């Protein structure tokens, strides 16, 4: 298991290299010239050239790529914004925690609402409870997140005045953004849990557990839910990944200084160092989350655990052969 | 009848089970009567979909509801009608006094729990023992079915099919049940393993003095293991008697057909004689005798009235108009 984790961690290196090259290439190919955007459309050609030189935008594709790769991986410097001149590293350090916190809490809330709701719907299949839960979750899945966020703001912030409408000054500021972020996920998880549970509940081992005289509650939670958890974990991992970039709308509505607003702003201004640095960080976070998901899998499912162990054992044997 | 010598353990009267679907009502079990004496083994024989498993699950009350509904009847176990018991009392019987072995060992075990824990679960539910004692007992059970105790903390995917079925049997016998419902315990296993598992079940049954209902479609297994046999067709018991009686003097045309469709070692016939046709659609059972359409002896009167169950020979009951008239 430890070997497996190490292997997966090492795999992050090529992924990060690949992502860096890809983002750089996309930026290279995208139309739009940051120098021209800074100087305005009446600037002379010489002035633009001079700024290119200064920004490191001169030279061929390979020269520029090489320069950038050296800067990132050797000097460990992500550069600084063309516009504000602030170091990208510093900005990410300040902004990433907000995004991570909002994404994390949202998913936690989504799981706390969605999974029990899905279990309830599955155990009351075809009854009004199931129908109500599924209607509600269909409604929430189809509902745009920003709309729900606005409703939350107008009700809790403007009408009742309980919570701040924008900004994050204390923990109260997190409540509305996290709720807004959780609602879609909760609905999705409820549907996933329900279908997973319905499948598991029909399995023979559930009947076996009942035939042992186990209580219904334990049959559902100890035997059924644990087995239904695998696809749910996958969905949750994916949700977390996508919400790293996707809290953008929520960050905009609630004026949160997170990664989403930072990146979109940079994209519209062709602020290359910011885009490249931001995407790099998000991809590293994504890799780590997926690794976490795989570790949780192994924790839940012994079949997967033995696969991991098996693959390292096999490699050990292979190595031994070579030495002999 | 032969069962009368022994004390009665289980008695099913007039059991009716139906599955309600959106389109139709599936009549899975229709007015079934069965008795089982202590220490006795009853074979429940019939083709796929005849309602054998439904009868067994109805006894334990583990039919999936919805869609399954017990529409009538009484199931007496030790003199008490189990269909009237509360769910809590029923739980104390399940796995403790009555246990079940399921058809497919590949799917009957929870894939994410160790086999030992799954056996221990059954024990700890019914016996007031300390954790260590429960574990000890689970290890003993594993060893009793011929699995080394060290394999306690292994997972089902690390066992072969036959081994898994042993685990399932160990789980079922862990609380020394009075009645064991074995639902085609060897159908999913290959023939050599079948014999091993059956031998083991037989000896364990003797050792623990357990009664058993053995559901199967294999008449060979019935001949080897059962004291009495009941033939199920379209949710009804069409013939019932001691194994010897039924094998030697099959009274119902369906039973006769079952025997004819078996190959004989000394036989001269080149082809087997299968029973023509299919079982009637359980959502739309015919009036009168349900076997009429496949019966080589069907007469007009068979379509008019459902035949009564008659004592064809002493202790041997047959549900057919032909029975009784000829031999007696």
| B279 CB burial (10 A radius; 0-12, 13-18, 19+) | buried
Please check whether residue B16 is in contact with residue B30, taking contact to mean a CB–CB distance below 8 angstroms. yes
Burial per residue of A251-274, b for 16 or more beta-carbon CB atoms within 10 angstroms, e otherwise: bbbbebebbbbbbbebbebbbbbb
Chain A interface disruption, residue of B82, B121, B183, most A CBs within 10 A: B121
The verdict on A70 and A136 lying in the same domain is no
Q: Looking at the predicted structure, is the pLDDT value of residue B3 above 50? A: no
Helix (H, G, I), strand (E, B) or coil at B317: strand
Return the H-helix or E-strand segment holding B9.
Answer: strand B8-20
Domain boundary, last residue among A42, A74, A106: A74
- Per-residue pLDDT averaged across B305-316, rounded? 82
The verdict on A114 and A48 lying in the same domain is no
Give the dihedral of Cα atoms B316, B322, B325, B328; nearest 10 deg: -30
Instruction: Find all residues with CB under 8 Å of A232, minimum gap 6, and list them.
Output: A115, A189, A192, A193, A196
Beta-carbon count within 10 A of B296 CB: 9
Residue A196 lies in a domain: yes
Q: Which of B91, B103, B155 is the closest to A302 by Cβ? A: B155
Beta-carbon count within 10 A of B184 CB: 22
- Per-residue pLDDT averaged across B239-262, rounded? 86
B267 confidence band (pLDDT: 50, 70, 90): low
The verdict on A141 and A193 lying in the same domain is yes
Q: What is the number of alpha carbons within 13 Å of residue A167 lying toward its C-beta? A: 3
Residue A322 lies in a domain: no
Residue A81 lies in a domain: no
In chain B, the residue whose alpha carbon lies closest to the alpha carbon of A303 is B157
CA nearest neighbour of B181 among B75, B101, B77, B96: B101
pLDDT tens column, A122-144: 988 888 998 998 998 888 888 88
**B47 φ, ψ (degrees, to nearest 5):** -80, 175
| Spatial distance between the Cα atoms of B279 and B232, rounded to a whole number of angstroms | 11
Mean pLDDT (chain B) is 85
* Partner A, chain B 199-258, Cβ-Cβ below 8 Å: none
- Per-residue pLDDT averaged across B82-105, rounded? 88
Residue B95 to chain A, least CA–CA distance (Å): 4
Helix (H, G, I), strand (E, B) or coil at A274: helix
Burial per residue of B135-169, b for 16 or more beta-carbon CB atoms within 10 angstroms, e otherwise: bebbbebbebbebeeebbebbbeebeebbbbbbbb
* A&B contacts, CB < 8 Å: 78
CB contacts, 8 Å: A223 with chain B: 110, 113
- Per-residue pLDDT averaged across B182-199, rounded? 83
Residue A79 lies in a domain: no
The verdict on A210 and A67 lying in the same domain is no
Q: Report which of residues B97 and A310 the model is more confident about.
A: B97
The verdict on A138 and A246 lying in the same domain is yes
Tokens of A264: 């979109």
Per-residue model confidence (pLDDT) at position B213: 92
Q: What is the pLDDT along chain A (324 residues), one digit of tens a residue?
A: 778 888 888 888 898 899 889 988 988 888 777 787 777 777 788 888 888 887 777 788 888 888 888 888 888 888 888 888 888 888 888 888 888 888 888 899 999 999 999 999 998 888 899 899 899 888 888 888 788 888 888 888 888 878 887 777 778 778 888 888 888 889 989 999 999 999 998 888 998 998 888 888 889 888 899 899 888 988 888 888 777 766 778 888 888 888 888 888 888 888 888 888 888 888 888 888 888 888 888 888 888 887 777 654 444 444 434 333
Per-residue model confidence (pLDDT) at position B4: 47
CB contacts, 8 Å: A207 with chain B: 57, 62, 102, 108
The verdict on A109 and A61 lying in the same domain is no
The verdict on A48 and A138 lying in the same domain is no
Residue A82 lies in a domain: no
C-alpha distances out from residue A244 to A105, B50, B206, B303, Å: 12, 56, 64, 72
Residue A89 lies in a domain: no
Matching residue, tokens 């609630």: A254
Per-residue model confidence (pLDDT) at position B5: 53
For a pLDDT cut of 70, what percent of chain B falls above it?
96
The verdict on A143 and A260 lying in the same domain is yes
* Count of structural domains, chain A: 2
Per-residue model confidence (pLDDT) at position A109: 92
* Cβ-defined contact of B157 to A214 (cutoff 8 Å): no
The verdict on A152 and A275 lying in the same domain is yes
The verdict on A70 and A102 lying in the same domain is no
CB contacts, 8 Å: B66 with chain A: 125-126
Per-residue model confidence (pLDDT) at position A311: 55
pLDDT tens column, B127-163: 888 899 999 999 998 988 888 989 998 999 999 888 8
pLDDT tens column, A257-307: 888 888 888 888 888 888 888 888 888 888 888 888 888 888 888 888 877
* Partner A, chain B 124-153, Cβ-Cβ below 8 Å: 125-126
The verdict on A132 and A57 lying in the same domain is no
Residue ranges making up the domain that contains A265:
96-315
Please check whether residue B251 is in contact with residue B325, taking contact to mean a CB–CB distance below 8 angstroms. no
Q: CB of B261 within 8 Å of any CB in chain A?
A: no
Axis crossing angle, helix A272-300 with helix A259-269, rounded to the nearest 10: 140
The CATH number of residue A123's host domain is 1.10.3720.10
The verdict on A158 and A272 lying in the same domain is yes
Residue A91 lies in a domain: no
**B137 φ, ψ (degrees, to nearest 5):** -65, -40
Q: CB of B109 within 8 Å of any CB in chain A?
A: yes
Tokens of B326: 């000829």
Please check whether residue B197 is in contact with residue B146, taking contact to mean a CB–CB distance below 8 angstroms. no
Residue A323 lies in a domain: no
**B65 φ, ψ (degrees, to nearest 5):** -120, 120
Delineate the domains of chain B, giving CATH numbers in brackets: 2-97+177-319 (3.40.50.300)
| B43 CB burial (10 A radius; 0-12, 13-18, 19+) | buried
* Cβ-defined contact of A214 to B168 (cutoff 8 Å): no
């Amino acid at each position: 298991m430890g070997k497996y984790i190490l292997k997966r961690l090492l795999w992050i290196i090529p992924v990060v290299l690949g992502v860096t090259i890809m983002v750089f290439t996309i930026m290279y190919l995208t139309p739009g010239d940051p120098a021209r955007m800074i100087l305005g459309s009446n600037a002379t050609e010489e002035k633009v050239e001079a700024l290119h030189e200064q920004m490191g935008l001169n030279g061929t594709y390979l020269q520029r790529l090489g320069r950038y790769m050296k800067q990132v991986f050797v000097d460990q410097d992500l550069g600084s914004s063309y516009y504000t001149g602030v170091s990208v590293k510093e900005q990410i350090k300040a902004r990433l925690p907000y995004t991570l916190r909002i994404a994390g809490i949202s998913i936690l809330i989504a799981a706390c609402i969605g999974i029990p709701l899905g279990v309830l719907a599955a155990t009351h299949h075809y009854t009004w409870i199931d129908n109500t839960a599924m209607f509600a979750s269909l409604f929430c899945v189809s509902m745009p997140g920003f709309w729900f966020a606005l409703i939350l703001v107008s009700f809790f912030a403007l009408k009742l005045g309980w919570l701040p409408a924008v900004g994050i000054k204390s923990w109260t500021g997190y409540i509305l953004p996290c709720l807004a972020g959780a609602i879609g996920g909760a609905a999705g998880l409820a549907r996933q849990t329900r279908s997973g549970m319905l499948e598991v509940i029909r399995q023979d081992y559930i009947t076996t557990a009942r035939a042992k005289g186990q209580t219904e509650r334990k049959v559902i939670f100890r035997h059924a839910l644990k087995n239904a958890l695998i696809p749910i974990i996958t969905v949750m991992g994916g949700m977390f990944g996508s919400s790293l970039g996707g809290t953008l709308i929520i960050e905009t509505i609630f004026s949160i200084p997170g990664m989403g607003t930072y990146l979109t702003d940079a994209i519209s201004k062709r602020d290359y160092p910011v885009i490249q640095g931001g995407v790099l960080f998000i991809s590293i976070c994504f890799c780590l989350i997926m690794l976490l998901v795989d570790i949780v899998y192994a924790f839940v499912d012994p079949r997967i655990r033995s696969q991991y162990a098996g693959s390292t054992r096999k490699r050990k044997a292979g190595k031994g052969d070579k030495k002999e | 009848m032969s069962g009368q010598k022994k004390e009665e353990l289980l008695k099913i009267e007039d059991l009716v089970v139906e599955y309600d679907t959106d389109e139709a009502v599936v009549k899975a079990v229709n007015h079934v009567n069965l008795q089982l004496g202590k220490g006795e083994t009853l074979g429940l024989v019939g083709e796929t979909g005849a309602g054998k498993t439904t009868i067994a699950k109805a006894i334990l009350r583990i039919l999936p509801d919805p869609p399954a509904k017990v529409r009538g009847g009484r199931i007496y176990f030790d003199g008490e009608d189990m269909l009237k018991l509360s769910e809590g009392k029923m739980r104390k019987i399940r796995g403790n006094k009555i246990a079940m072995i399921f058809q497919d060992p590949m799917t009957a075990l929870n894939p994410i729990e160790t086999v030992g824990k799954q056996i221990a679960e059954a024990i700890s539910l019914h016996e007031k023992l300390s954790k260590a004692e429960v574990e000890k007992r689970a290890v003993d059970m594993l060893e009793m079915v011929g699995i080394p105790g060290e394999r306690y903390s292994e997972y089902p995917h690390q066992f072969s099919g036959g081994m898994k079925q042993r685990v399932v049997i160990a789980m079922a016998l862990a609380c020394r049940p009075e009645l064991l419902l074995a639902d085609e315990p060897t159908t999913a296993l290959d023939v050599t393993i079948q014999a091993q598992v059956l031998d083991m079940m037989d000896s364990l049954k003797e050792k623990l003095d357990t009664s058993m209902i053995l559901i199967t479609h294999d008449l060979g297994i019935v001949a080897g293991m059962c004291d009495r046999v009941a033939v199920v067709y379209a949710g009804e018991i069409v013939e019932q008697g001691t194994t010897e009686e039924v094998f030697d003097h099959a009274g119902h045309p369906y039973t006769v057909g079952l025997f004819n469709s078996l190959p004989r070692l000394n036989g001269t016939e080149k082809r087997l004689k299968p029973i023509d046709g299919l079982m009637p659609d359980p959502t739309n059972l015919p009036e009168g005798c349900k076997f009429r359409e496949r019966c080589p002896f069907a007469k007009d009167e068979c379509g008019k009235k459902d035949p009564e169950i008659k004592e064809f020979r002493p202790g041997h009951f047959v549900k057919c108009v032909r029975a009784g008239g000829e031999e007696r």
